[in-house]
Amino acid sequence: MAIKVLIVDDSALIRSLLTEIIDAQPDLQVVGTAPDPLAARERIKELNPDVLTLDVEMPKMDGLAFLEKLMRLRPMPVVMVSSLTEKSSAVTLKALEMGAFDFVTKPKIDIRSGIMEYAGDLTEKIRCAYLSGRRNKVARQAQLSPVQEKLSADAVLPSRRDHFSSTEKVIAVGASTGGTEALKTFLAALPPDCPGILVTQHMPETFTRTFAARLNGLCQLAVKEAEHGERVLPGHAYIAPGNRHLMLARSGANYTVALGDGPPVSRHRPSVDVLFRSAANCAAANSLGIIMTGMGDDGAAGMLEMHAAGARTIAQDEESCVVFGMPREAIARGGVDEVVPLGDIAGRLLGWLASHGRRSFRV
């Protein structure tokens, strides 16, 4: 039986394009559309959809107000459809905090071709949202099919070992679907003198700056969008900018940030595989890699490289993941030292640091 989808968007063109994309999939079916939340309320009662796509900015009632009522009165899987603006970015991130499963972005220009480029991403997220709602985690990734050529980290960064003498530690973290909340939980639990942290979260431009600012207000660490060439400092977390690869580099005895515009790796830019390879190259046993909730397998190959280079590696466990795709693949390839619940990851990191000479933290 096909997954039933209700589209809520005030644009007739967007409703038409999303219907075309979704109905082209044999396992998905648009059972109805609504131009605003008030109409959507009636359509939900009438059609009992499995998944909702919800526009952020709409007349009569904004997407956040509707989502709040929906999650309180009739919880269901929701994929937000957001514009690439600062305002929409903030609203979308708030929607994820309120329980939306994930989001896709609307293009600013050439809407038809732009939306079609997101077709594979949209349909994958609808499937995962549905399966997440049913808590059928084992079957999630088996139902996803590749939609474009898949490149490895070789397309951006060669594998090598930089030989140097250093005891400075660095943390590399990768996440995707469900990662915004997972990262908030993890980073908020860390003390202000933690080693520098580099984070690749699959997220488009505009959103990463808003996301970093939101985390910065919640954490003892200083959280910012990464800038090319800046030094990686203790007590700081650096978020990969949307559409840029984030890499660890070295300048003399210091770790630095490098950003790249190379092709997507594992179908993503930024790519977790690229970040993890750079950590294996530059920090090796002085690094710790963490892979969190997310669709697909980005980061699995890179985590195996970190593990082979002597790094400590941690994967989020299935029960605490929104989507157990990326961690599962990393575990299956043999690159993970331990699998732990989200709430325990910060503690394991601090334990590893303590065992390597960092014995006191200002919590």
Closest C-alpha to 49, from 11, 113, 5: 5
d(CA 292, CA 178): 8
Note if 165 is an active site residue. no
Note if 307 is an active site residue. no
The residue from 298, 307, 317, 320 that is catalytic is 298
The answer to whether the beta carbons of residues 315 and 286 sit under 8 Å apart is: no
Note if 298 is an active site residue. yes
What is the distance between the terminal CA atoms of the chain, rounded to a whole angstrom?
51
The answer to whether the beta carbons of residues 66 and 40 sit under 8 Å apart is: yes
Q: Give the helix ranges, DSSP H, for 99-230.
A: 111-117, 119-134, 179-188, 207-216
The residue from 9, 55, 132, 202 that is catalytic is 202
User: What is the C-alpha R_g of the chain?
Assistant: 20
The residue from 82, 88, 176, 320 that is catalytic is 176
**3-class state of residue 157 by DSSP:** coil
DSSP letter at 335 equals -
Phi-psi region of 249 (alpha: psi -120 to 50; beta: other; left: phi over 0): beta
User: Would you please indicate which residues are annotated as catalytic (active-site) residues?
Assistant: 176, 202, 298
